[in-house]
Structure 1
Amino acid sequence: MTMKTTICYGALFCALLFGGAAQAQKSPDIYKGGLKVSLNDDGSKYFRLISWAQIQAAYSDNVAPNASPVNFNLRRARVLMYSQISKKFLILTHFGLNSLNAGNMSPVGTGANAQLFFHDVWGQYSVGKNHAVGAGLHYFNGVSRLNNQSTLNMMTLDNNRQSWSTLGLTDQFARHLGIFAKGAIGKLQYRVAMNDAMTNGLDMRDPELNGGAVYGGKRLLGSQKAGFAYAGYFEYQFWDKESNFLPFKVGTYAGSKKVLNVGAGFFAHPNGAVVATDTVGGMRGENVLLFAGDVFYEQPIGSKGGAISAYATYQMNDYGEDYLFSAYGTGSMIYGHVGYVIPGRADKPKIQPYVSYAVNQYDASNINRNVLGVGVNYYLTGHHSKLTLEYKQQQFGATTNGVTLQAMIYL
């Protein structure tokens, strides 16, 4: 890409960003809530609908020959509905699509990437005031806060990819089919789950002699040896209490809460990975164990809406001997991000610059994967309508650079 072209794209990004900002100055209305329909007089029986979309214009310097470095992407288009049919019972349904672009669209919308699919379908039963059990295709994950991240209110453009630690390996888009329990004991919140691991995951390799592990225990060893996976996440909330009604963790409150949480979680899958043995065609199962500890901090500053938001995690990953596949690898990860809401008038849009950094160490490689993100959120009406501009650099052998502008609407 020439310097002239780069400047043109930069000008386009700025025009879109500040053009939206100019319009926002005229209408800083505050969003009052989504569609909630009461089914009885006191509102204890109801259903609520939530819909959101994230549309991106993205530049990357890592593209195929003759391919455009700029493309448009429908990053997410989702609809979520939950219904409280009584004080004891709740059902949630969540469907949509992800990452639809010109390269994977189909002429009449019948291709795999254009199809809606269920992200979540679960039912739960309340046990007392602060505890519940449930079952279905669910998002009550273990390991870390980011492995339970909501896509409605992230501070960074997107979640740290390596933190969705089993996506596509044992689950369907970070959702497992299984049973869960969740609740709170004082300031301690918990979630635990027992899940049926997916058979046909992303890693469809066969183990090779003297090679690293593959994540195919259930497929290659059978469900009796590698059928179930177990997960849990526990966090102590020192200051404001966060909602535990739904499993989706907030990325940033942009200064509306004072939060200090310390958490720890795990994911365990006995015989989840497989390595080849010296015997011809022989295979041996290896246990998969992931563990993380994290801290989430958010503090309003001053009287004009300023706030700092920060998150840090250390994660230990054991996917089997010398495992390395796509975003996953046996080793360790350190990740953190920090953002600052610039003080201003309450009736004006908010600006939040931020920076993120991740270091991923793999046993199977003598080089680390380093990921740097620098961006800014422009909140027109909080997370309900916002623009995000982010530069990202990833180093893992080669270095790739990208710039993405995202517009998000959430109703």
Structure 2
Amino acid sequence: MKKLILLLFLSSFLISHSVFSQGSPDYTGGLKVKLNESGSKYFRIISWAQFWARYTDDVPDDDSNIDFSIRRARILMYSQINKDFLILTHFGLNSLNANNLDPVGKGDSSQLFFHGVWGQYSLGANHAIGGGLHYWNGISRLNNQSTLNIMTLDNNRQSWAHIGLSDQFARHIGIYVKGAFGKLQYRVSVNESITNNLQEGTDPVVNGSAVYAGRRLLGSKDAGKNFAGYFDYNFLDQESNFLPYKVGSYLGGKKVFNVGAGFFYHPDGSVIANTNGTLEGEDVAIFAVDAFYDAPLGSNGSAITAYATYQNNNYGHNYTLGQTYETGSMVYGHAGYVIPNANKKIKFQPYTSFNLRSIDAIDDNATIFGVGANAYFSGHNSKLTLEYLNTKYGDNDAQSFVTLQAMIYL
């Protein structure tokens, strides 16, 4: 096992090290093309890719313990024709592996799709309104996480609390308003809820658990819209909210301490069948509070990143789906430390994470424990992440994973 981890780490190091010069820690990202001499009219293109090699300890006898996948391959472009208007498009694919590749590249998992398409109009210097397929989400910082600069290997899955249930891959079609009142930033939205979601083939049974199928079974009049918001107060350095994507770790580049709270509310989003077989809607309501701290420690290049959240999930009576979504509550946190290395190009950041969830449907808990490290060759633009993850769901046996990720961001 130790030899396997070392081999994977060295092989990905060589691949990533050969292209690290394409980015730098102070790189503003992407290709910016000026459309006028002053640069007030422009478009910018950003591209990134994440490659995974994963070892799973408990697999069927005829399955390999090691698999490779493209976790993400994305392209994002945004443009301003003047200071008041912005348009953004974001497309790509996710989790492409040997089981979902298509022989001629036409399968569902092989196809690029839009992760976001929205337009925005400024309402003065600090506020804006927009609409489209957008990522101005509610609930928590992690439900608005950028995939470019996550500190852990990947985002805490349960924090993306409505992926595939009310949205298309964490994006809703709707309208949003975002901005800041001094140090208080806000984002609120009214959105359409998806009809054909992850439970499109599931109907509620008499006296059974809720099914997330309100719009499909009850109609769009009563169950078609959802509402979301997130508010965070910036006690120290002010974070940018030009785009919706929250930074995972600044590596000591800023001194940030934010406290936030948010919600997601979908009236009649779930459905139950009562003793007479009559369908009844149940409101989906999720809210969270969180805190984020990121700061340098002295002048030697060390830094700390810490995050904690409490999230309450109500998807309806005894709701559970795929050991991912459950009616119950969650406590999650992670912390990382950039090791002092001021005179060298590579920075190392060990970290740990913990997730504890209560699950009404099984009257039990689920836990996820992770420990890992990032090797930054050029900030988030070129990095390797090695992580061990242990998961346990109720009285099921624990499952362990070791994953190595190589990431390039241009």
Cα displacement string for residues 103-127 of structure 1 (whole angstroms, at most 9, x for unaligned residues)? 1101110110000000000000000
Is the partner of 1:242 in helix, strand or coil? coil
Aligned to 2:31: 35
Match of 2:244 among 244, 247, 256: 247
2:302 alignment partner AA = G
Q: State the distance in 1 between where 2:254 and 2:342 align.
A: 18
**Percent of aligned positions that are identical:** 59
Aligned equivalent of 1:173, options 161, 169, 172: 169
Q: Paired residue for 1:59, among 41, 55, 59?
A: 55
CA pair 26-98 structure 1, distance change in 2 beyond 3 A:
closer
Q: Is the 8 A contact 2:348 2:374 kept in 1?
A: yes
Secondary structure in 1 aligned to 2:77?
strand
**2:11 aligned partner:** 16
Q: CA deviation at 1:64?
A: 3.1
8 Å contact from structure 2 (residues 16, 383) kept in 1: no
Matched, 1:328 2:325: yes
CA 1:38–1:113 in 2, change beyond 3 Å: closer, same or farther?
same
Q: Is the 8 A contact 1:295 1:312 kept in 2?
A: yes
**1:328-367 matched pairs, under 5 angstroms:** 328-367=325-364
Residue in structure 1 matching 2:137, options 136, 141, 161: 141
Within 5 Å, give how 1:365-404 maps onto structure 2: 365-396=362-393, 397-404=396-403
SS of residue paired to 1:218? helix
Aligned residue in 2 for 1:3? none
Going from structure 1 to structure 2, the CA distance change for 1:345 and 1:41 (only over 3 Å counts) comes to: same
| 2:132–2:174 CA contact under 8 A, matched in 1 | yes
> Bigger CA drift: 26-35 or 98-107?
26-35
Match of 1:119 among 115, 119, 128: 115
Deviation (angstroms), 1:22: 7.6
Counterpart secondary structure, 1:118: strand
Number of aligned residues: 405
2:304 to 300, 303, 308: 308
Give, as a single letter, the amino acid of the residue that structure 1 aligns with 2:110: A
Matched with 2:67 is 71
Alpha-carbon distance in 2 for matches of 1:24, 1:154: 20
Q: Deviations over 1:304-357 (max 9, x none)?
A: 110010000000011011111121011100000000000112442100000000
3-state secondary structure, aligned to 1:85: strand
The separation in 2 between residues aligned to 1:394 and 1:104, in whole angstroms, is 24
CA distance in structure 2 between the aligned counterparts of 1:21 and 1:104, rounded to whole angstroms: 25
The answer to whether the 8 A contact 2:142-2:160 is kept is: yes
| Equivalent in the alignment of 1:218 | 215
1:286 maps to 2:285? no
Task: Report the 3-state secondary structure (helix = DSSP H, G, I; strand = E; otherwise coil) of the residue aligned with 1:364.
Answer: helix
Q: Counterpart of 1:156 in structure 2: which amino acid?
A: T
Shift of 1:11: 3.0
Please say if 1:164 is aligned against 2:160. yes
| Aligned-residue offset at 1:16 | 2.8
- Residue 380 to residue 220, structure 1, CA distance change in 2 (3 Å): same
**2:11 aligned counterpart, secondary structure:** helix
Q: Is the 8 A contact 1:349 1:380 kept in 2?
A: yes
Matched AA of 1:309: T
1:280-313 deviation digits (Å, cap 9, x = unpaired):
3x11001110000000001210211100100000
Per-residue deviation, residues 247-299 of structure 1 (Å, max 9, x unmatched): 0000000110100000000000000010101223x110011100000000012
Aligned partners of 2:225 and 2:2: how far apart in 1? 52
Q: Paired residue for 1:99, among 51, 70, 95?
A: 95
Q: What is aligned with 1:296?
A: 292
Structure-2 separation of matches of 1:29 and 1:76 = 21
TM-fit CA distance, 1:28: 9.7
Letter paired with 1:219: R
Residues 1:405 and 2:400 aligned together = no
Work out whether residues 25 and 349 of structure 1, in 8 Å CA contact, stay in contact via their aligned partners in 2.
no
For residues 115 and 24 of structure 1, what CA distance do their matches in structure 2 show?
26
Q: Deviations for 1:51-96, whole angstroms, at most 9, x for unmatched residues?
A: 0000011111233330111011100000000001111100000000
Read off the aligned partner of 1:238 and give its amino acid letter: F
| Distance change in 2, residues 1:176/1:399 (3 Å) | same
2:232 corresponds to 1:262 = no
Give the C-alpha shift of residue 370 in structure 1: 0.2
Shift of 1:13: 2.3
Letter of the 1:143 partner, please give it.
I
Deviation per CA, 1:185-222: give whole Å up to 9, x if none. Answer: 00000000000000011023111112110100000100
TM-score by length of 1: 0.95
Distance (whole Å) between structure 1 residues aligned to residue 162 and residue 251 of structure 2: 29
Change (3 A) 1:23 1:125: closer
Unaligned runs of at least 5 residues, structure 2: none
Which residue, out of 74, 81, 84, partners 2:80? 84
Which SS does the other structure have where 1:338 is aligned? strand
Task: Report the residue type matching 2:156 in the other structure.
Answer: N
Instruction: Report the AA paired with residue 249 of structure 1.
Output: K
